[in-house]
Amino acid sequence: MTIQEPRPRYAQVADVLRSEIRSGVWPPGERLPSQPELAKRFKLSQTSIARAMELLRSEGLIRSEFGAASFVLDAPTTKRVRAIPKSSSAGTPSGFAAQMRAAGLEPRTTLSVVGPVEAPAAIAARLGLDGADQVMVRTRRMFADDRPVQLATSYIPWRIAEDLQPAEVETNPAGLYTLLRDRGHGPVLFAEEIEGRRPTPDEAAFLSIPEAQFVFEVTRIATGADGRPVEVCVNVLNLSQWRLRYEWEGDNA
């Protein structure tokens, strides 16, 4: 590559590597050459190479492991759609597995359930808990074609969850809501709040993305017939992989 002035050299290196990544020279999961190898290739200092790699990391194209080289991330041009059906035609949010299969992907979910434990302050406030109240925490790690795509953590007040057995709590949200309904705590209203933010270190590690890359945080609040929340579920999704779609009926009155 011929370095051209006055454009910064690191930016020109990033241009070349970005083009190679997008053209498939370096496919998703591929290990890129080390910084010394790249410095030799481009005849530049490792400082310039490090700045180029940082630029690619900030764009969500690569990730770097401590003491190791960088790896190309999966950045699909066609985003997966997380569709929430209109409330009048569905009793619960649509399932992850069905959505992934509809997109031609094979879903897999791992599940962990713990409790009673103390809820994070923000979750306790949403659930209307006081300092003595605890929760069951249901964590689902979701994969599509064995690639991590979503992290979902549900918090259920212990006054509701104490008579639930971990083995009863399924990976499908519809199964959980059916179980709650059978126990007299069925939700009748769902609301979701969406924001973009940077991931925590644990979230970035699971999703295999840089901490500089943004994620969707979709917080669902399920409310029972008595007006009290029966669950808060925090979904974390890689923003570059997902598009959100919502449906509702118009007012014909």
Q: Is the pLDDT of residue 183 over 60?
A: yes
Q: What percent of the chain has pLDDT over 90?
A: 47
**What would the pLDDT profile of 206-221 be if each residue is shown by its tens digit?**
998 878 788 999 999 9
Q: What CATH number did the domain enclosing 40 receive?
A: 1.10.10.10
Do 138 and 170 belong together in one domain?
A: yes
Range of the domain at 39: 9-72
Reported as a single tens digit per residue, the pLDDT across 110-149 is 999 999 999 999 999 999 998 789 999 999 999 988 889 9
Would you say residue 49 lies in a domain? Answer: yes
Domain's final residue, options 38, 53, 72: 72
Predicted pLDDT at 66: 61
* pLDDT value of residue 89: 43
- The answer on 53 and 86 residing in a single domain is no
Assigned domain for 162 exists: yes
Q: Which long-range contacts (CB under 8 A, 24 or more apart) does 214-220 make?
A: 214/239, 215/239, 216/242, 216/244, 218/82, 218/192, 218/193, 218/194, 218/244, 219/126, 219/192, 219/193, 219/194, 220/93, 220/190, 220/191, 220/192
Residues 192/218, Cβ–Cβ less than 8 Å: yes
Q: Which two structure tokens, joined as six digits, stand for 95?
A: 């399932």
Q: How many C-beta neighbours within 10 Å does residue 83 have?
A: 15
Q: What is the CATH number of the domain that holds 172?
A: 3.40.1410.10
In this structure, are 176 and 232 located in the same domain? yes
Write down the pLDDT at residue 45.
93
Tell whether 253 is covered by a domain.
no
Looking at the structure of the chain, the number of domains it has is 2
User: Which of these ranges, 4-18, 77-91, 104-118, has the smallest mean pLDDT?
Assistant: 77-91
Vertex 123 angle, CA 119 and 125, to 5°: 105
**99/214 same-domain check:** yes
190 located within any domain: yes
User: Are residues 141 and 239 located together in one domain of the fold?
Assistant: yes
Task: Reply yes or no on whether the pLDDT at 30 is more than 90.
Answer: no
Pair (138, 66) in one structural domain: no
How far is residue 60's CA from residue 124's CA, in Å, rounded to a whole number?
33
pLDDT the model gives residue 238: 87
Global confidence as pTM: 0.71
pLDDT-derived band at 28, boundaries 50, 70, 90: confident
Whether the predicted pLDDT of 54 surpasses 70:
yes
Average pLDDT over residues 81-88: 53
Return the minimum-mean-pLDDT range out of 4-13, 18-27, 110-119. 4-13
CA-closest candidate to residue 223, choices 89, 123, 127, 115: 127
93 shares a domain with 64 = no
Whether residue 253 has pLDDT greater than 50 = no
Does residue 28 sit in the same domain as residue 109?
no
Residue 2 lies in a domain: no
pLDDT for res 151: 96
Q: Which two tokens stand for residue 15?
A: 């241009």
